[in-house]
Amino acid sequence: MTFFEVKNLTFGYASGNGSVIRDFSLQMEQGEVVGLLGNSGCGKSTLLRLIAGLESPKSGRIQIDGKVLVDQGQFVEPEQRGIGMIFQDYALFPHLTVEQNILFGLHRLSIAERLVRLKEMLALVQLEGYGKRYPHELSGGQQQRVAFARALAPRPAILLMDEPFSNLDAELKTKIRDDLKRMLRAAKMTSILVTHDKADAETICNRIIRMTR
Amino acid sequence: MTGALLRRSLRRKLNGWVTLSVVGAFLALLPSLYIFFGLFQKQNENWQHIQEYMLLDYALQSLWLVLGTGACTIIVGVTLAWLVAAYDFPLRRFFSFAFVLPLAIPPYIAAYTYGSMLSYTGSIQTILRDTFGLTLDQRYFDIMSMKGAIFIFTLFLFPYVYLITKTFLEKQSAVFIENARLLGKNQTHIFFRIVLPMSQAAIVGGASLVAFEVLNDFGVTKHFGIQSFTAAIFKTWFGMYDVESAIRLSAWLMTLIIGIFIVERLVRKRKKYSSPTNRSTPLTRRKLRGIPMYATVIFGLVIVSFSFVIPVVQLSVWATWTYGEVLNETFWKLLSNTLFISSISITILMLLAVIVANVIRFSRGSIFAVALTRLISMGYSIPGAVLSIGVMAVVMSVDKELSSFYSWLGLGANKLVLSMSLFMLTFAYIIRFLAVGFNAVEAGFEKTGNRYSEAARMLGMSMTRTFFKVDLPLIRGAVLTGFILVFMEIVKELPLTLLLRPYNFETLATKAYQYASDEQIHQAAIPSLCIIAVGIVSVIFYHWLGERKAK
């Protein structure tokens, strides 16, 4: 059964003419990892922002688990969507520690549950003992894992990743990529990975979609 | 189809933040609307008289003042900016900061300080007479004139031109100037053919700030007896009790200001030069030697003395003569009044500034955001006298509307509650200085970017919770900057305070002005020095921020 569906999505910036995305459709099963591959400027990051609710489409529909997120008449705000996202530069809050960053999205849980979840997440990303550090005290790879833990902690229905490897050097990248694959499988996460690197997508994803302008 | 889309986006975007911003912007626009409606009222007899005999005079006097000051500040400001940015000479780092200090001294304080120093009984002529036995022609000391006013304005407003031009030259010009040098051009050629045309936008930006300050001024022109527009508004309002004509004069002045605005836009339109690469190499400074070096240092020292050291020293001397008489309970009352009104105004102002900036950053570039920014920043270019008359008109008509409510409260009929209270002054301060606070906050948001807020929203936080948990901690520094800059502006603001304060409510600025206009100039020294001290603190703070950013 289709878990996540994008139908005839069209988007254009208010200032520009023409559409960045035209009539885009996609269906995903639960637990599937889809890679969106394309050159810069083809609209793949915009697509993620539309799914996340950070931009609103001109037309089309997005729904998840039978619930409509956006169509002509409705718009669910990003904080109500239950979608996790890993940003290209991670956007870890610089004024909060690793623990506080991971706890940030857990405000709907009880305090006891929060701590349990925090422990689970630190274990999953193998960063036990780093909880009290600030983001700038971590290496690039560690930061990326914190971003992953933070996005995954509130148990999102779907995880979006926007070029999560672009800030890592080549050597580190292979290892992190394998780690990420392991963690995604372990969490059975339905996810979309945006990248311009074919190897990234081939390693991690079940299915690859090429986007062209 | 599109109707549904519109409804969707309206429902989405109409939250508390947006509503508050729109209400704020509308309130900021209200006084100006009142003034423009004044133009369509029926003209009274007085106006015909003013129009026939005085209007042209007012306009010409204001125009000369603006043009004269504009030209002189450009000459002084650009020269100093070029010297500091492109050359190395002894005391350069000191000068680079000292040339900003005059901003700490409001021109009206400088005006009565110099006016008194140069008078027959003032310190300069006394020293000349007693020590050198010289009695010179009084014409040499006539500062209470148009030339004198231009002199004062130039000395204390040139930093606007200096600062903007210097920043531009330091950050943007290196590539072009180095290339010109490689192409074998000499320094004079580079200055006139490269530097001047390139920094045109920066210079015009600085000069238009100067023009707004000059048109806003009331203290200098009043003290020197110049019939500027602002002085004329005061005269028709308080001398002839003719509010209608005062509003009409204000409308004319606004037209002049809008004219300056348009000229500025036209000049700057296609001239925003910047180097194509983001990587801006700093300009390598040339070492000055010999006569040019001495000339530069002497020129710098002369400017610093006239625009800062001499007036401050003179005021300090007067302060030592009068502190016993001035420092009493009334003085503490002045201080607490000043602090009280400024803290209330700043708090509301910064709240509004933060709200609007937070709304604008998510819709940057849209027509809505541009319009909101314009409206919010408008107050800063409206002269104090004009704004006061607009605010007064608005508040009085609100009072009129509320009169039945007042009598229901048992306050009596025809009572003017709001117009007699501090409400009016607070309202006016907020409109006038909103731009200052807003710009500071916006710079903070621009630096942090939107991604942290987006990350927070993705983690399930609403816009408001995101603001308190993520945005506010990240822009704390910018908000503090806004507080300090607005504080300096309010403390030194004269025309607004003078016109809109409740009866007998004195601040440092109004008291200094009152002493000065009662020929008790020595007594004005202590309140003036307090105002200057606040100014120095914020100039230092601003400079320190700029230095930190440069690193």
pLDDT tens-digit series, residues A177-197: 888 888 888 888 899 999 888
**Domain residue ranges of chain B, discontinuous segments joined by +:** 54-275+294-314
B221 in Cβ contact with B230 (< 8 Å): yes
Pick from B209, B183, B238: nearest CA to B77: B209
Distance from CA of B7 to the nearest CA of A (A): 7
Is the CB of B549 inside 8 Å of chain A's CB atoms?
Answer: no
The pLDDT, as a whole number, for residue A14 is: 61
Task: Give the number of A-B residue pairs with CB atoms closer than 8 Å.
Answer: 80
Q: B455 contacts in A (CB within 8 Å)?
A: 85, 87, 91-93
pLDDT band at B1 (very low <50, low <70, confident <90, very high): very low
DSSP B435-472: HHHHHHHHHHHHHH-SHHHHHHHHTT--HHHHIIIIIH
Contact A77/B4, CB-based, under 8 Å? no
The pLDDT, as a whole number, for residue B301 is: 95
**Residue B91, CB half-sphere, CA atoms under 13 Å: how many?**
13
B4-9 contact pairs (CB < 8 A, 24+)? B4/A72, B4/A73, B5/A58, B5/A59, B5/A72, B7/A73, B8/A56, B8/A72, B8/A73, B8/A74, B8/A75, B9/A56, B9/A75
Flag whether pLDDT at B412 surpasses 80: no
A195 pairs with which residues across the strands? Answer: A37
Distance of CA B192 to the CA centre of its chain: 30
pLDDT band at B273 (very low <50, low <70, confident <90, very high): low
Flag whether pLDDT at A169 surpasses 50: yes
Flag whether pLDDT at B339 surpasses 90: yes
A190 in Cβ contact with A28 (< 8 Å): yes
**Domain residue ranges of chain A, discontinuous segments joined by +:** 1-82+156-213, 94-155
Flag whether pLDDT at A15 surpasses 60: no
Contact residues for B392 (Cβ-Cβ < 8 A; gap 6+): B243, B419, B424, B499, B500
- Residues shown for chain B: 551
Q: What is the mean pLDDT of residues A73-78?
A: 85
With a CB-CB cutoff of 8 Å, which residues 470-499 of chain B face chain A?
470, 473-474
Q: What is the mean pLDDT of residues A95-124?
A: 91
Q: A118: which 2 tokens? A: 């925090």
Q: B461 contacts in A (CB within 8 Å)?
A: 79, 104-105, 107
Contact B12/A75, CB-based, under 8 Å? yes
**What is the bridge-based pairing of β-strands B286-287 and A67-70?**
unpaired
How far is Cα A42 from Cα B344, in angstroms, rounded to an integer? 51
B37 versus B11: which is more confidently predicted? Answer: B37
How far is Cα B333 from Cα B330, in angstroms, rounded to an integer? 5
How far is Cα A172 from Cα B511, in angstroms, rounded to an integer? 68
How far is Cα B83 from Cα B92, in angstroms, rounded to an integer? 9
Indicate the residue of B8, B451, B469 with minimum beta-carbon distance to A91: B451
Look at domain A1-82+156-213 and name its CATH class.
alpha beta
pLDDT band at B159 (very low <50, low <70, confident <90, very high): very high
How far is Cα B117 from Cα B113, in angstroms, rounded to an integer? 6
B447 versus B271: which is more confidently predicted? Answer: B447
Contact B455/A91, CB-based, under 8 Å? yes
How far is Cα B316 from Cα B330, in angstroms, rounded to an integer? 20
DSSP B302-368: HHHIIIIIHHHHHHHHHHHHHHHHHSSHHHHHHHHHHHHHHHHHHHHHHHHHHHHHHHHGGGTTSHH
Is the CB of B469 inside 8 Å of chain A's CB atoms?
Answer: yes
Contact B457/A107, CB-based, under 8 Å? no
Q: B544: which 2 tokens? A: 């320190």
Percent of chain A with pLDDT over 90: 31
Indicate the residue of B4, B458, B470 with minimum beta-carbon distance to A72: B4
Q: B451: which 2 tokens? A: 């991604």
Flag whether pLDDT at B281 surpasses 70: no
Sheet holding A21-28, edge to edge: A21-28, A4-11, A59-64, A67-70
- In a mutagenesis test of the B interface, which of A69, A72, A90, A121 is the best target, namely the one with the most B β-carbons within 10 Å? A72
The amino acid at residue A74 is: Q
Q: B474 contacts in A (CB within 8 Å)?
A: 94-95
Contact A79/B452, CB-based, under 8 Å? no
The pLDDT, as a whole number, for residue B104 is: 92
A207 versus B407: which is more confidently predicted? Answer: A207
How far is Cα B311 from Cα B302, in angstroms, rounded to an integer? 13
- In a mutagenesis test of the B interface, which of A104, A108, A152 is the best target, namely the one with the most B β-carbons within 10 Å? A104
With a CB-CB cutoff of 8 Å, which residues 316-375 of chain B face chain A?
365-366
pLDDT band at B256 (very low <50, low <70, confident <90, very high): confident
SS3 assignment, position A3: coil
Residue A92 DSSP label: -
**What is the bridge-based pairing of β-strands A191-195 and A158-162?**
parallel
The 3-class secondary structure across B110-156, one letter per residue, is HHHHHHHHCCCCCHHHHHHHHHHCCCCCHHHHCCCCHHHHHHHHHHH
**What is the bridge-based pairing of β-strands A83-86 and A158-162?**
parallel
Q: What is the mean pLDDT of residues B234-242?
A: 81
Instruction: Output the average pLDDT for chain B.
Output: 85
A70 pairs with which residues across the strands? Answer: A62, A75
Flag whether pLDDT at B279 surpasses 80: no
Is the CB of A56 inside 8 Å of chain B's CB atoms?
Answer: yes
Contact residues for A69 (Cβ-Cβ < 8 A; gap 6+): A51, A53, A62, A63, A76, A81
Using CA coordinates, name the residue in chain A closest to B470.
A93
B331 in Cβ contact with B526 (< 8 Å): yes
Contact residues for B315 (Cβ-Cβ < 8 A; gap 6+): B109, B113, B525, B528, B529, B532
How far is Cα A34 from Cα B61, in angstroms, rounded to an integer? 73
Is the CB of A94 inside 8 Å of chain B's CB atoms?
Answer: yes
Q: A83 contacts in B (CB within 8 Å)?
A: 458
The pLDDT, as a whole number, for residue B227 is: 86
Is the CB of B15 inside 8 Å of chain A's CB atoms?
Answer: no
Pick from B251, B227, B241: nearest CA to B390: B251
Contact B365/A15, CB-based, under 8 Å? yes
Using CA coordinates, name the residue in chain A closest to B451.
A91
B370 versus A102: which is more confidently predicted? Answer: A102
Query: Around Cβ B278, how many Cβ atoms within 10 Å?
Result: 6
Is the CB of B459 inside 8 Å of chain A's CB atoms?
Answer: yes
Flag whether pLDDT at B429 surpasses 90: yes
Q: A91 contacts in B (CB within 8 Å)?
A: 451-452, 454-455
The pLDDT, as a whole number, for residue B451 is: 87
Superfamily of domain B54-275+294-314: MetI-like (1.10.3720.10)
B122 in Cβ contact with B113 (< 8 Å): no
The pLDDT, as a whole number, for residue B532 is: 94
Per-residue model confidence as pLDDT tens digits over B437-454: 998 898 888 888 888 998
Out of B87-96, B334-343, B378-387, B467-476, least confident range: B378-387
Per-residue model confidence as pLDDT tens digits over B488-542: 989 989 888 988 888 888 999 999 998 888 888 888 899 999 999 999 988 888 8
Distance of CA B385 to the CA centre of its chain: 14
Indicate the residue of B8, B454, B474 with minimum beta-carbon distance to A72: B8
* ipTM at complex level: 0.84
Contact B458/A78, CB-based, under 8 Å? yes
The pLDDT, as a whole number, for residue B280 is: 59
Per-residue model confidence as pLDDT tens digits over B188-226: 888 888 888 888 888 888 898 899 889 888 889 888 888
The pLDDT, as a whole number, for residue B550 is: 59
